[in-house]
Chain A
Amino acid sequence: MKKYIVCVALSLLFLSSCNNFLALSPEHQINENNFYKTEADFENALVGVYASFREIYTHEIFYLAELTSDNAEVSISSSSVAEMEFDEMNITPSNTIVQGFWTKVLFTIARANILLVRLEQSDLSMESKARIASETKFIRAYSYFLMVQIFGRSPITHGEFRSPEDIANADLSLKSLEEVYTEIIKDLKEAEELAVDDSQEDKGRVSLGAIQGLLGKVYLTRHQYTEAIHTLGSLIERNVYSLEPDYKTLFSPGNGNTKESLFELKFISGFNQGNEYSVLFTPASTGLLANNQQGSGRITPSLDLMDAYEEGDARKKASVGDTIRPNGVKEYSRHGLKFVDLNAENPRDGSVNFTVLRYADVLLMYAEALNEDDDVNGAQAYLNMVRSRADLEGVEISNKEDMRESIAKERRLELAYEGHRWFDLLRTGKTQETMNAFFVGKGLNFTVQNHELIFPIPRREIDINPELGQNEGY
């Protein structure tokens, strides 16, 4: 009987400490209850936001901004359906790459939101708060800018979601283009104000220059030329950035923190922290990459792009190539060279950093804004700065329309394979004209229709929330 009593007593003892016995949390993982306390925590969370943003640049951006354009085409026969849709400009709501882009961009925004909310609640010093907030707002603004250019609309969120109920009660509807741009400009202005450094040594971190460069780009995209001139002008006047004399160094291993870079995404090899550009932009054949490795042939340069370079343009050699040597025998096969590391032991683990914003872009944007503001001469000066670095003669143009065309052409060649082409075409209203001519040139009966200037909302999102509504034409 005694034993029985002991047993029951033991059981009761267990029960009294039940809740402790059952309250297990993972010791190997950070949870939201023990994080967001110290400055180091916030620093780590900020790195997390950068890492999220970098995800957009693993491959999606090159499908959306290069493969859609006249710069690039698929060169393998066994491409995925999603890839073919880009190549043929016939993008459907179920396109997995568009879905990936949507998710990565919005994840970045949501993570920036959490960081900003938690930062506000923290007792970090004003100085630290300002610095972290400035960097975070830049990333958030850039993400919204990508959203709105691709989809024409975007959800706008500010809060942190802490339970399924929070999400059920949130307004996740798609806001209009105007509202999104208001949000972007507000973020960038606040970021500009809070930015402490004019220029940081580490171009992987957001600096005042990056913020102004992006703000200028946003104004330009909105055709607010006065504001663009003001913003970009003050950036140029500060004289912090300059063009690298050798164009090739911008895209080769060891390209970190150049004078020309405003903001870049960092990669290194050997730590599973490299990029896949060396595979993405090169043909699915041996004879180019080291160790008999193959590329993928997914985003290879079009003949149209190859032919667009003027004689003597120093950029061509650094940007594109058309000869490979499988088994030592010369063969024609076009490939991109920017950010490609031909000597990488593992081409899926490339070490070349990706420059998101650079000074040549700023100069060309400034030229564009000046020209649109009827200062053709002013524009010419900045355009020629970029041309002269490419070993090209300066242009002499007095006609605004001709200048427009020259700037557009210069932008295409200067910034090819850097994720700008589609957006440039959109901004200058030349998408359909350019692309339809491109398809005709290739003898293909594909076209870009009116509605295709804005991408479809991914099907997954509409399945989850039918009220989002699909973009017109899809």
Chain B
Amino acid sequence: MNEKCLTKTIRGSLLLICCLSVFTAAAQLRIITGRVLDANIRTPLQGVTIKVAGGGQAASTNNLGEYSIEAKTGDLLRFNFLGYDPVEIVVGKESAYDVKLIRSTESLDSVVVVGYGTQRKRDITGSVTSLSPQDLQPGPAASFDQMMQGKVAGAQITQTTGAPGGNVNIVIRGINSITGGNQPLYVIDGYAIGAGGSGSDVSSFNGNSYSSEGMANNTASKINPLSSINPSDIASIEILKDASATAIYGSRGANGVIIVTTKKGKRGSPTVHLEAAGGFQNVANKLKMMNAQEFAEFHAEGRDNAWVYAGGNASDPNDVRTGGTRVRPEFRNPESLTTNIDWQDQIFRTAPLQNYQLSTTGGGESVDYMVSLGYYNQQGIIKKSDFNKYNMRSNIDIRLSNRLSLGVSLAGSYTHGNFARAEGHLGTRGLIAAALANSPAMPIYQADGSYSSELLDPLGVLVENPYLILDEFSDKRNSANIFTNNYLQYNLLDGLSIKTSIGVNYVTGSTRLWKSSQIGEWGAKTSPATAGAHNSALLNWLNENTVNYTTNFGEDHKIDAVVGFTAQKESLNMLQAGAMDFPTDLIPYLAGGNVNAGTNYITEWAMLSWLARVNYSFMGKWLLTGTVRRDGSSRFGINNRWGTFPSASLGYRLSDEEFMKSLSFIDDLKLRASYGASGNNLIGNYAHIGLLGIVPYVGNGQPLLGVTPQTLANENLTWERSLQTNFGLDLALFNHRIVLTVDAYRNMKKDLLLNTLLPAATGFGSVTQNIGELENKGLEIALNTRNIASGSFQWNTDFNVSFNRNKVLALNTSSARILSSAYQATQVGQPISSFFLLEATGVFKNWDEVHASPLQHPNTQPGDLKFNDANGDGRITDDDKTFVGTPWPKYTFGFNNQFTYKSLSLGVSLTGSYGQKMYFQGAEIIMNSAGVQNQLALVNDRWRSEENPGNGFVPRAIRNDYARGIGINSRYLFEASFVRIRNVNLAYKLPSNIFRSKLPAIDMFADVSNVYTFTDYPGYDPEGSSTGDNIAASGIDYFSYPLPRTFTLGIRMNIR
């Protein structure tokens, strides 16, 4: 099919349309009128387009739902309205026709995208949640994943960082893997782009910036890869949760599948959609820190106690004390302090945000198109951080002939931004830690105008001025994404079609890091300047070939089948470099220094798959689905390279039975059951191969490279298998005023990919093996109700709640304990990555309590922390670490309300999560009671004396860790349950009659996101986690970039 041919076809169709117009003009036209109402709530619908088929008149309804259009008998009138199923009527003798439209989402005939095809909602037998644009959070967002929060039963969606463009984790039906990835598979318009995560764990980011080697290898990602998909382009998102739905994705389906479908062109005259929004953000929750007076008192107390501990007297002057126990003279008299700075105000700001979207859709006889452009700009609430995004997309479908069609989807995005050195310890110059720990009594500037800092002051807080960190470190990133997927489809016979597609996803990323010599480490004021640069290019191609067959046998039997073959390969080319020895700080590039560290490598995977699915329906009442996929993957050992993943499911529409017909309030009742297998292949590309690594050494005064075995070969390595059982119920009552979906599931994970620890005598630390089992079981309930639907006032509610229990059933040995972080361990009988810590049970209030307790340190005294002697040996040692909670919620929920009064609507969304804990690593600094850094104000409630024992939780201030008060223990572990007012959105639909012209739909909206969070968690945000998409180390907050509260105003316009 060449261009000429295409033009011909278009011309031909145009001609045809002209002819038809001439023909229709000859008949008798008259005025047809009527009203269009919502089928359920019987309210008038405004802005419904009515068209005479064949290109005649067009009209739209007014705010009373009334229309009037010229047509003649025999004409076909098409009623179209976004979010509703289209309706066609044939004009008869009457001249008035009232029409009722059914909302697409509730209509059982609406189509749901599933893997390799679509299904009617009524025929679905698996567990699938479908979101339309109306369901997504209305305010502007950098990526669609954060808009899904609180909308999907069974998915725990966590925004771990407030950094613009930052990471969002989606965990479907509980954490699934200890060593393998836990991200779902993302499928964009049929193209499986892979699991979302990209290595955004920033917990060691700062520490890696002090050598050229560290800079070269500091590849933690800070741009959410899913931000390349423009939220405004999305037509629907389907979340596939059980094996019946995911098994068609075989070895990649076990963590669930998220299918994103972008908007397509629609036949009809062009519609231009314009959206513009702007607003600002500020920090949603500032921590309450000690003021200068409280800090001075605390500082003196901590040092006096340490000096007394060392054998001195609290009244001793500084010159007889040792360094760490000396007290700033002016802090002896806190009232005299005049400076009182909240350093948080120095790093945070109110930051603007803007979002512009322009798109047009339309189509003719042979070509449908959707073209969009988007620009998004967000300044960070931490100074000097920002994020910019440009998106373009064209989806074009062309009918070459009755049987042959082809489609082109082309999308590009470019993001760039500046990122903050927000997280981490103040010793490695984490910005937030520096701001919180800094002395509130220190002025910002010295007398000479330079930044002040107590870093070199033996009596000061060993922390750098946050302004210096802002000035002397930079992290610039950009990423470009080009995605194209093209198909050719041929209908061999009615019901039999073949389709072949080929697509390419090309993603490049570039990072430039710079740390000037002014940023030192720990107590060093300065350190050699370093720079790093990373360039990545990822090429992923996919070829899919499928055959679809749909047929009916008689009236009652319907079959819909697909078989296919796919091939996919990905190649990532990384170039990393680091430089040191900069003669000056003037050139913040590699070029300014001595490039002496780096690497370049290509890492690849390839996959071949066969797939098949059959849907069989008997009288529309009994529904059967069977799928199978066979995958071969380069990631696994030669002995286990191919795996088969089958599933079967059954649906029974009880409401279609005769005996149910009398219960007329039941619109729909369907029971579902499914069982099947899917897999998880998210491990490194070459885990099965025995590799040798380069180790540096020194010979003859020169660096020398040696070689040493690094990984043990395991040719039996294969996927994790997930055996999933799901029982579901769909119920709709009272004309869909109540719609309920309930799913109960049990996922058994076998052959877990585990880094089995090896005895050191083998020369290897661990090997990835298929050992172990775990279980996730849970219950999901989604309830949509139309509470009030009287006339002009409506109130709709969507509520969903998900319960999940995770339990490890087997590891390589029954006593094996896998440490997923310094704070978390996985053990049989416990959920994955449970917190495993020395359990602080309070503070010794007096000597009696000390004497009555197990032996701690020989010098333990009142005011010190009390620990649980978990192993009961009468001593407190590291062997007393015990399980003290998990980062996994017992349940999560979303509660979304929509109130509509005439043209005004108000949406209020709540999300919540209960039962999880968060290790506030930052509290090791700002709650450590050491008498050094500034503390949370709640440390004012510390133990001070037997008479004044505080809240029984915060130990006495002392600059000595003999009593384990400062180091890691459970007192930094907090309940992180929360209820969040996620979003409040007020929208006003302008009445169309204020414009005489055909500008039917203008919406104005005001939106507040992250409005307020009810929680006991003392950090910035109970979801903030510095471990990013390292889901197995979730729940560790080392001052994660706080979530902003966002206020936006915007306008949306549809021009026809």
Whether A51 and B458, one on each chain, are in contact in the complex, defined by CB atoms closer than 8 angstroms, is no
Distance to closest chain A CB from B535 (angstroms): 15
Quick one: which of B686-741 are within 8 Å of A by CB?
686, 689-709, 712-716
- Chain A: CB-nearest residue to B498: A4
CB contacts (< 8 Å) of A204 on chain B: these are 698-699
Quick one: which of B580-615 are within 8 Å of A by CB?
580-581, 596-597, 599-608
CB contacts (< 8 Å) of A35 on chain B: these are 692, 707
Whether A79 and B608, one on each chain, are in contact in the complex, defined by CB atoms closer than 8 angstroms, is no
A397 beta carbon closer than 8 Å to chain B: no
Whether A3 and B691, one on each chain, are in contact in the complex, defined by CB atoms closer than 8 angstroms, is no
Kindly supply a per-residue 1/0 record for chain A positions 55-99, scoring 1 wherever the CB is within 8 Å of any chain B CB and 0 otherwise: 000000000000000000000011111001000000011110000
Q: A111's contact among B638, B696, B708, B879, by CB below 8 Å, is which?
A: B708
Quick one: which of A131-158 are within 8 Å of B by CB?
155, 157
Whether B763 and A111, one on each chain, are in contact in the complex, defined by CB atoms closer than 8 angstroms, is yes
Whether B323 and A268, one on each chain, are in contact in the complex, defined by CB atoms closer than 8 angstroms, is no
CA distance A81 to B879 in the complex (A): 12
- Chain B: CB-nearest residue to A466: B815
Whether B693 and A461, one on each chain, are in contact in the complex, defined by CB atoms closer than 8 angstroms, is no
Whether B714 and A164, one on each chain, are in contact in the complex, defined by CB atoms closer than 8 angstroms, is yes
Whether A163 and B712, one on each chain, are in contact in the complex, defined by CB atoms closer than 8 angstroms, is yes
Q: A21's contact among B567, B602, B698, by CB below 8 Å, is which?
A: B567
Distance to closest chain B CB from A274 (angstroms): 9
A41 beta carbon closer than 8 Å to chain B: yes
Whether B760 and A24, one on each chain, are in contact in the complex, defined by CB atoms closer than 8 angstroms, is no
CB contacts (< 8 Å) of A84 on chain B: these are 962
A256 beta carbon closer than 8 Å to chain B: yes
Kindly supply a per-residue 1/0 record for chain B positions 876-913, scoring 1 wherever the CB is within 8 Å of any chain A CB and 0 otherwise: 01110000000000000000000000000000000000
B392 beta carbon closer than 8 Å to chain A: no
Whether B759 and A113, one on each chain, are in contact in the complex, defined by CB atoms closer than 8 angstroms, is no
A375 beta carbon closer than 8 Å to chain B: no
A31 beta carbon closer than 8 Å to chain B: yes
Quick one: which of B756-811 are within 8 Å of A by CB?
756-765, 767, 769
Q: B930's contact among A78, A164, A271, A326, by CB below 8 Å, is which?
A: A78
- Chain A: CB-nearest residue to B757: A464
- Chain B: CB-nearest residue to A174: B761
Whether A46 and B706, one on each chain, are in contact in the complex, defined by CB atoms closer than 8 angstroms, is yes
Quick one: which of A150-188 are within 8 Å of B by CB?
155, 157, 161-164, 167, 170, 172
Residue of A4, A103, A286, A464 contacting most chain B CB atoms (<10 Å): A464
CA distance A51 to B964 in the complex (A): 35
Whether B762 and A460, one on each chain, are in contact in the complex, defined by CB atoms closer than 8 angstroms, is no
Q: B763's contact among A11, A106, A163, A271, by CB below 8 Å, is which?
A: A106
B492 beta carbon closer than 8 Å to chain A: yes
CA distance A110 to B323 in the complex (A): 46
Whether A285 and B458, one on each chain, are in contact in the complex, defined by CB atoms closer than 8 angstroms, is yes
CA distance A278 to B967 in the complex (A): 25
Whether A172 and B759, one on each chain, are in contact in the complex, defined by CB atoms closer than 8 angstroms, is yes
Distance to closest chain B CB from A108 (angstroms): 9
Contact flag A32-B762 (CB < 8 Å), given A10-B545, A92-B877, A163-B714: no
Quick one: which of A236-286 are within 8 Å of B by CB?
256, 266-268, 270-273, 284-286
Whether A331 and B697, one on each chain, are in contact in the complex, defined by CB atoms closer than 8 angstroms, is no
Distance to closest chain B CB from A271 (angstroms): 4
Q: B878's contact among A81, A157, A346, by CB below 8 Å, is which?
A: A81
Whether B523 and A286, one on each chain, are in contact in the complex, defined by CB atoms closer than 8 angstroms, is yes
CB contacts (< 8 Å) of A25 on chain B: these are 686, 689
Distance to closest chain B CB from A254 (angstroms): 10
A425 beta carbon closer than 8 Å to chain B: no
Whether A172 and B761, one on each chain, are in contact in the complex, defined by CB atoms closer than 8 angstroms, is yes
CA distance A424 to B863 in the complex (A): 42
Whether B498 and A31, one on each chain, are in contact in the complex, defined by CB atoms closer than 8 angstroms, is no
CA distance A267 to B703 in the complex (A): 9
CB contacts (< 8 Å) of A27 on chain B: these are 602
- Chain B: CB-nearest residue to A110: B763
Whether A272 and B211, one on each chain, are in contact in the complex, defined by CB atoms closer than 8 angstroms, is yes
B199 beta carbon closer than 8 Å to chain A: no
A293 beta carbon closer than 8 Å to chain B: yes
Whether A94 and B602, one on each chain, are in contact in the complex, defined by CB atoms closer than 8 angstroms, is no
B525 beta carbon closer than 8 Å to chain A: yes
B63 beta carbon closer than 8 Å to chain A: no
CB contacts (< 8 Å) of B318 on chain A: these are none
B105 beta carbon closer than 8 Å to chain A: no
Whether A22 and B961, one on each chain, are in contact in the complex, defined by CB atoms closer than 8 angstroms, is no
Whether A294 and B699, one on each chain, are in contact in the complex, defined by CB atoms closer than 8 angstroms, is no
A330 beta carbon closer than 8 Å to chain B: no
Whether A272 and B697, one on each chain, are in contact in the complex, defined by CB atoms closer than 8 angstroms, is no
Whether B689 and A26, one on each chain, are in contact in the complex, defined by CB atoms closer than 8 angstroms, is yes
Q: A292's contact among B524, B545, B605, B715, by CB below 8 Å, is which?
A: B524
Contact flag A346-B707 (CB < 8 Å), given A26-B603, A271-B696, A272-B597: no
A465 beta carbon closer than 8 Å to chain B: yes
CB contacts (< 8 Å) of A77 on chain B: these are 306, 324, 959-961
Contact flag A24-B606 (CB < 8 Å), given A30-B707, A44-B706, A49-B708: yes
CA distance A114 to B703 in the complex (A): 24
27 A-B pairs with CB atoms under 8 Å apart are A3-B498, A4-B498, A25-B686, A28-B599, A29-B691, A30-B693, A30-B694, A45-B707, A47-B699, A47-B704, A47-B707, A49-B708, A77-B961, A161-B764, A162-B690, A163-B713, A167-B758, A170-B762, A267-B698, A271-B698, A285-B523, A292-B520, A292-B523, A293-B523, A293-B524, A461-B759, A463-B817
Known: A30-B692, A46-B706. 6 other contacts (CB 8 A): A28-B599, A81-B967, A162-B690, A163-B715, A349-B211, A460-B757
Residues of A within 8 A of B (CB): 1, 3-4, 7, 10-11, 14-15, 18, 21-32, 35, 41, 44-52, 54, 77-81, 84, 92-95, 102-103, 106-107, 109-111, 113-114, 155, 157, 161-164, 167, 170, 172, 202, 204, 256, 266-268, 270-273, 284-286, 291-294, 326-327, 331, 333, 345-346, 349, 445, 459-461, 463-466
Minimum-distance CB pairs A-B, first 4: A110-B763, A47-B706, A48-B708, A294-B523
